Amino acid sequence: MVLAGLDGGLFLAGLRLLSLERHCSFCYFNSLVSLNLAKAATLACIFVLLCASVGIYNADALRSFRTFAKRFAFAWQLIFILAIGFFAISKIALGVPFGWFVGIFSIAISLFMLLLLALRFFFHLFYRSPFLKKRVLVLGQGSTADATVAYMNGPGSNHLKHVRTIANGRVVENRASWSVEGNLAMGEPAIAEATPLLQIALALRVDEIIVAVDNKRGLAVWDLLECRLNGIDVIDYLNFWEREFAQIDVSNVGPGTLAFTGGFQFNRRRRALKRVADFTVSLLFLAAVLPITLLVAAAIKLESRGPVFYRQERVGLNGRIFRVWKFRSMRIDAEKDGVPRWASAKDSRVTRIGRFIRATRIDEIPQIINVLEGDMSFIGPRPERPYFVQQLRREMPYYDLRHRVKPGITGWAQVNYRYGESIEDARQKLAFDLYYVKNNDFFLDLTILVQTVRVIVFAHGAQ
């Protein structure tokens, strides 16, 4: 959010500088750009959305300059083509010569993008500096503690520094007892005493303690409270995992954790607003992609015999069965033996046109009909076939929680994980789906919508 704000602010400042034609009559940019603050701010927002849509503000791009540079190069091309194209068309419509202005405008865009690239390079150097890393102490032993330490010592976690792991257990045994007389609490609890755990944390200059225990019996809760009262963050393993991976650890979470944690808000007002948003966005999107759908329909018909559309039973809200609409991407005899199969990489059942429309997610466009009918939402977990749902319910105790919201054309699992081709893939996607069900709100929906552009452009997880 901070980096997006800085980029948008720089872009807005650049536009305002180009717009100062009254103060610079001899400049090359004279009469090239004349924008008031509202128009400039709108363009700055569009610029940030385009950058975000290709993923340059994602966590992996923040932690790897190579990943950022790859996406930044594409964002540069995208912004350059759109800006120059729009500028040229607008000048042609006015009957004004534009060749010289296009050249100057191209140089301005290139200089600005080079400035952003240089700033981000220095940010990455600064981001990796030792004094910016969060110093972490892990309290616990066993599989969860090992997984936590392995993540912090692995790639993509250069914002964290693991300083020590100490085993779980009571660190302080003898504490003053409390007694109550009337409305007074009597006794002398050692609230100012530096417990051994606090002493260790202060000596190591710890910023955060991660409680990663398999069994919380005998946990040193008073010691953890002392650490928190002394300015050290305390977080349990499941919340740490959710924060770092934007998913829920379905292998370790329990019903008590889900019942008492925040999130899982499904009030009527939110459902009603989302239904209005789904209907409106679907109509606008359908109008925008209508030419593409006609071309795809013709291509499918020309390549192979069979219908253009493919209808299949899927499990929707609260387990209700509905029939989903899709462009047909496989041969009509793909399941001639009647046994459902997971789609696999380089699946021989997929046609040539089908491979393209699956890679670009064009095959999902007809699901807009399901959104308009109310069976699906624009954003939500991917609807699965009843045959596979029966299998997955037996394997995963919380699988049906994903059916507490409407399935979607795109979703948090779709933009973060590839197409599923096995039960293990379904388990990984469930971790993202439960994160969405728990944290569903307008901002997360907007994030998914923007990230879907990156998935389409880079054919992320297509098969």
Find the angle CA(340)-CA(346)-CA(352) to the nearest 5 degrees.
95
Q: How far is CA 101 from CA 44, 342, 410, 420, in A?
A: 20, 54, 40, 49
Identify the pLDDT of residue 189.
47
What does the DSSP assignment read for 215-282? --TT--HHHHHHHHHTT-EEEEHHHHHHHHHSS--TTT--HHHHHHSS-----HHHHHHHHHHHHHHH
Question: Reduced to 3 DSSP states, what percent helix, strand and coil does the chain have, rounded to the nearest 5?
Answer: 55, 10, 35
User: What CA–CA distance (Å, rounded) separates 165 from 140?
Assistant: 7
User: Element (H or E) spanning 332, and its range?
Assistant: none
Q: Would the pLDDT of 27 be above 60?
A: no
- Average pLDDT estimate for 358-363: 84
Is the predicted pLDDT of residue 218 greater than 50, yes or no?
Answer: yes
Query: If phi over 0 gives left and psi between -120 and 50 gives alpha, with beta otherwise, what is residue 175?
Result: beta
The pTM of this model reads 0.79
Percent of the chain with pLDDT strictly greater than 70: 85
Q: How far apart are CA 166 and CA 201, in angstroms?
A: 11
pLDDT of residue 265: 77
Mean pLDDT value across residues 90-96: 70
Q: Phi and psi for 410 in degrees, rounded to 5?
A: -130, 160
d(CA 158, CA 129): 9
CA–CA separation, 123 and 144 (whole Å): 32
Residue 191's pLDDT is what?
42
Quick one: pLDDT band at residue 209, thresholds 50, 70, 90?
very high
Fold for 132-171+191-245, please state it. Answer: Rossmann fold (3.40.50)
**Backbone Cα Rg of the chain:** 27
Question: How many helices (H) and strands (E) in the chain?
Answer: 17, 10
Calculate mean pLDDT across residues 261-265. Answer: 78
Average pLDDT value for residue range 158-173: 72
E runs forming strands in 272-411: 309-315, 321-327, 377-379, 408-410
Domain ranges of the chain: 2-127, 132-171+191-245, 268-457
359-368: buried (b, 16+ CB within 10 Å) or exposed (e) per residue? bbbbbbbbbb
> CA-to-CA distance for 297 and 239, rounded, in angstroms?
46
Confidence of residue 349 (pLDDT cuts 50, 70, 90): confident
Greater confidence (359 vs 231) lies with: 231
Label residue 326 left, alpha or beta by phi (over 0 means left) and psi (-120 to 50 means alpha).
beta
pLDDT in tens, 31-82: 455 667 887 888 889 899 889 888 899 888 887 888 899 889 989 988 888 8
Count of Cβ atoms closer than 10 Å to residue 229 Cβ: 11
Cβ neighbours of 104 (radius 10 Å): 14
Q: 419: alpha, beta or left, given left = phi > 0 and alpha = psi -120 to 50?
A: beta
Phi and psi at residue 252, in whole multiples of 5°?
-120, -15
CA 402 – CA 407 distance, rounded (Å): 8
